Amino acid sequence: MKRDSPCEPAVGDTNPDKRPKLDQLDTTGRNNTTLEFEAQADCSAITSAVANTTPTEPGAIEADEPTPSLSKRKNKTRGSRGRGRDQRARTDRNAERKGSWASRGTRNEDDKPVDDIGEKAPRLPKKKVAVLIGFCGTGYNGMQIQREAGTNTIENTLFDAMVKAGAVSKDNSDDPVKVNFQRAARTDAGVHAAGNVVSLKMITEPPDTPDLVAKLNELLPPEIRVWTFVRATNAFNSSPVDRTACDSRVYEYMFPSSALLPPMPGTPMERHTKPETIDPNGPDWEYWSLPDATKPETMRAWRIGKGQFEALRESAKLYEGTHNFHNFTVGLEHSDPSALRYMISIDVKEPYVLDGIEWISVMYHGQSFMLHQRKMTTLLIFTSRTGTPASSLIPQAFNSPKLLIPKAPALGLLLQEPRFGTYNKHVLEENELAAGRGETDRVREPIEWEPLREKIDGFKHAYIYRRIRAEEAKQGVFAAWLKFIDSYDGWEFKYLNPRGEIPSEAVVHPEKRKQGSTNKFREYLWKNPAGKGGESVPDSEDEEGDTIKKPSVDMEG
C-alpha cells in the first residue's frame, strides 16, 4: 500500500527571487505518478532582461566606474557572454516546453486579465481552505497534478474546475503553486479515495456563485466529488510532510475471499506449502477435490470458514505497533530509520457478499505509510492460503533478512480518509480563546468526516465498490495474480512453509542481486503481465527489492 509537492512562498511575498529552490520543494513520494515541478527561472523576467539589455563592446567601461585590470576585464567579458548564453538557452527551453503550466513566474501587471472595457479585473480575496474530496481513480493517472499536456489526473481535473468556477483566478490559473496547492495523500494510478483533502488559497465567494460546492460538482465528472470545504488556519498545510496537520491515514484493502483458496495441486507453491496433516482451521485443501473446482463460478461461490477467518484476523493484529517495514516497501534496507512506522490499528471486517462474490475488507489505520505498503496485505493472503504460521513469519519479516514480497493488486486499494486529530485539537483550543476575546472572525472549523459519512458511503458503493467488483468479475484479477505466483518455480517464496521458518535460500542477499540471480523472477514477471495484478508496467526494482533509494513517505498504491 508507501508513497508533496510544491513549495509554499511566504504570504504576501511576490518576489520570485525569494522563492524556494527545487531542493526545498516538498517532492516526497515515490511512485510512477509522482510529479516533481521542475525549478525554472522566471521566463518572463529572463526574456525581458535579455531583450532590454543594451549590448556593449567587449571590454567597454562605464564612465563612472573605476578601470579594472586587463585580466579582470577579460574574465568579466567571458563570464557575461557565458551567462547570456545560459539565459537564452533557458528561455528557449521554457518557450518550447509544452504543458498546462509552462511558466512558474509571477505575471507582470501588464499580463493580468482585463475585462471587456479594457480595465484590469478586480482582485478577489483568497482564504486558506481545506477542500474535502472523494474520487474513483479508474482511468486516471493518479492523484497529483502533472504538467504534461494530455495527462489525466484527479488534481488536473479538480484544478481546472476550480478555475472555471472562479475559485482560482485566471491570474493564478497557469500554476497551482501560486495558490499553495497541496494534498494530504497521493494515490497511484487507478487507486481510489473515499476521502482526501487538498489545501490552497481559494476564492471562497466567486461572483454569481451562491453555492461553490454545488458549482464545482456540476463542473466535475461524477466520479470526482467535492464534499465540502472549511476555512483553515493560515499556517495549515495538508501535505503529509507537515505532521502538525495530517497525523494519520486510514486505508481500506478489499479482496474476494476466493483469494484465500490454497494453491492448486501440482504447482510449485503447493509442493512446498501443503502440510502432511491438514489443519481444520487452516486452508481448505479439500476444495480442489470438487469436480468443477477450477471454474471461475465455482471459485467465486466458495466461502471462507470461521476458523480460517479468525486466524486471518489475528494475523493482521501482528502489524499493530511500531515495526520496521523495510520488507513491505521498496528501496529501503533494515538499517534505514525511515522504515520504522507506527500502525495504530488493523481491523479485518466480517465477510460480506455482493453480486454473488464474498469480499473481505482490511482497514489499515497508520500514522504514516510507505510506497507499496499494500505488501502487508500480500503477506496476510499468502500465510492464510498456505497455512504458513503468520505468528512466526510476520515478526521475522520485521527483522533484517530481505524477502521478496510482491505487491497485492492495486484494484482492491482505496484511501478511506486522512485524519487531522492534532490540528483539530489546536483549532478547538484557538476557537475558545478567540471567542473569549470576541474575535469571531478568527474561528475555524475542524476537519471532520463523520457529518459527511452518509454521502461518502453512498459514493463508495455507487462508484468505487461497483468498479472494483465489475473489474474483478470481468478480469479475474486476483485469480490471475495468484495463479502466476503459484506457478513460479524459484527460491524466492520458500519462506512460505508449514514450519514458519525463513530458509537461507529464500533471503535476498546483496550478493544475489549483484550476481543477477534475482533476474529469474523479473523475467518471469515480464512474460506474465497478469502477475502484476492488473498493472500494466512491471516494476522490477519493486519486485526484486533492490536498494535503489526512493522516497518512502505515504502509501499510494
Q: Look at the block and give the residue holding cell 512562498.
A: 9
Is pLDDT above 50 for 148?
Answer: yes
pLDDT higher than 70, residue 540: no
Q: Please report which confidence band the pLDDT of residue 345 belongs to, taking 50, 70 and 90 as the band edges.
A: very high
Give the residue-averaged pLDDT of 223-228. 96
pLDDT (0 to 100) of residue 458: 96
Say which residue, 155 or 243, is predicted with more confidence. Answer: 155
Looking at every residue in the chain, the average pLDDT score rounds to 77
pLDDT for 42 beyond 80: no
- The answer to whether 555 touches 503, Cβ cutoff 8 Å, is no
Q: Residues 285, 287, 290, 295: what is their CA dihedral angle, to the nearest 10 degrees?
A: -120
> For residues 364 and 241, which has the higher predicted lDDT (pLDDT)?
364
pLDDT tens by residue, 372-407? 888 999 999 999 999 999 999 999 999 988 999 999
pLDDT at 485: 93
Would you place residue 456 in the very low, low, confident or very high pLDDT band (cuts 50, 70, 90)? very high
For range 538-548, the mean pLDDT = 35
Residue 415's SS3 state is: strand
Is residue 235 classed as helix, strand or coil in its secondary structure? coil
**Is 188 an annotated catalytic residue?**
yes
123 — pLDDT class (breaks 50, 70, 90): confident
Look at the chain and count its residues.
557
pLDDT of residue 96: 46
251 is in an annotated binding site: yes
In the chain, % helix, strand, coil (3-state, to 5) comes to 40, 15, 50
Least confident of 54-68, 89-103, 225-239, 313-327: 54-68
Could you tell me if 53 and 69 are in contact, meaning their C-beta atoms sit under 8 angstroms apart? no
The three cell numbers of residue 552 are 518512502
Ranking 129-143, 420-434, 532-546 by mean pLDDT, the lowest is: 532-546
DSSP state of 462: I
Q: Give kind and range of the element (H or E) at residue 80.
A: helix 70-96
Each domain of the chain, given as residue ranges in start order, spans 252-416+448-544
Higher pLDDT, 352 or 116: 352
pLDDT band of residue 156 (cuts 50, 70, 90) is very high
Share of the chain above pLDDT 70, in %: 68
Q: Which CATH class is domain 252-416+448-544?
A: alpha beta
Q: How many helices and strands, by DSSP H and E, does the chain display?
A: 16, 10
- For residue 303, what is its C-alpha cell? 466461502
Q: Which of 4, 26, 175, 188 is catalytic?
A: 188
Q: What angle do CA 392, 395, 398 make, to 5 degrees?
A: 145
Please compute the mean of the pLDDT values over residues 304-325 and round it to a whole number: 96
- pLDDT of 528 > 80? The answer is no
pLDDT score at 18: 44
Confidence of residue 435 (pLDDT cuts 50, 70, 90): confident
CA-CA distance, 49 to 46, in Å (whole number)? 5
